[in-house]
Structure 1
Amino acid sequence: MIEATKLFWTHVFDFQTRSTRSDFWWAALGNIILSIIVSFVAGLIFGNSTAGSAAYSIIYGIVGFLYLIATISIVVRRLHDINRSGGWWWIQLIPIVGGIILLVFELTATVEVGNRYPKMER
C-alpha cells in the first residue's frame, strides 16, 4: 500500500504508462488513510482561528488540485493497463451508467498480450 501510494504521488503527471489493478486500489486505500491523518493533523495545527482557516483553505485547495490531477492520471493509466485509451475517462460523465462502466474497467484484469501502452518504471 505504501509503495502504491508513493507511485500515485510521484507519477502525478504521467498519462502515458500503465498502473496495475493492485497499484490502483492500494493507492486508493492509502490515500483515504493519508487524508484522514492529514485532516486530523491540520485540525490540530490550524484550529478554529480565522487566520488558521484561511491558511488551511489555501493549502487544502492546492493539495486538492494536485489530488484531482493525480486521480485523473491514475485512472488513465489504469485504462491503459487494460489496453483502452485514456479518453474512456470521460465515460463517467454519463449519469449512473458511466460510473458503473468505469468501475468495471477499473476492476478488469491487466491485458498483457497486444497492449500498446508501456509499463510504468518503478
Structure 2
Amino acid sequence: MKGSGDIPMNWYLAVLRKYAVFRGRARRKEYWYFVLFNILISLVLGAVDSATGNFHPETGLGVVSGIYGLLVLIPSIAVTVRRLHDTGRSGWWFLLALIPVLGTIVLLVFMLLDSEAGRNEYGPNPKTGLQNTLD
C-alpha cells in the first residue's frame, strides 16, 4: 500500500468499507490498526458514557459504547476471518474464541503470524500490491 494508505486511520476505514466482506485476505497492518482504533474509540466512548451517566457498572457498558460495539461487531469478525485467510487458515478457526483463555491465545498467535507467501486459496498476498486493501 502506498501514499495516503499508509495513514493508520485509513486502515481502520478500509475495514469499515469492507463491512461484511469475509472473502479475501487482510494483512497484519490492516487488522492491528483496526484493533488499535477500536480500543481508542471504545475508551473515549466509555469516558463519554461515564461523564453523561450512561455507564452501567453491572454490565460494564454504556449506551454509546454499546451501540458502537454492535456497529463494529460484523466488521471485527470479517477482518478476523480475512486475517486468518492471510495466514492460510479457514475462517472457521475463529470459533477458537469460544474456548476460554486457550482459544484466545491461539487466535492471538494466528493474528501475529506473517502472511502466507504468494497466492493462497483465499487470494493474492495483499503485501505484493496485487490487491489494494482499500478497494
Gaps of 5+ in 1: 50-55
Gaps of 5+ in 2: 1-7, 55-61, 124-130
Could you list the per-position Cα deviations for residues 35-88 of structure 1 after superposition, in whole angstroms to 9, with x for gaps in the alignment?
A: 2334445666xx348xxxxxx73x554432221111111110100111111000
1: distance between equivalents of 2:16 and 2:23? 15
Select 2:32's aligned residue among 8, 25, 33: 25
- Written as runs of structure 1 = structure 2, the 5 A alignment for 1:1-122 is 1-41=8-48, 47-48=52-53, 57=63, 60-118=65-123, 119=131, 121-122=133-134
Number of positions where the alignment pairs a residue of Structure 1 with one of Structure 2: 113
Change (3 A) 1:38 1:62: closer
What TM-score does the superposition give when structure 2 sets the normalisation length? 0.70
The DSSP-based 3-state class of the residue aligned with 2:44 is: helix
Q: What is the letter of the counterpart of residue 87 of structure 1?
A: W
What TM-score does the superposition give when structure 1 sets the normalisation length? 0.77
1: distance between equivalents of 2:119 and 2:75? 26
> Which residue number in structure 2 is paired with residue 53 of structure 1?
none
The DSSP-based 3-state class of the residue aligned with 1:15 is: coil
Q: Contact 2:24–2:122 (CA<8 Å) still a contact in 1?
A: yes
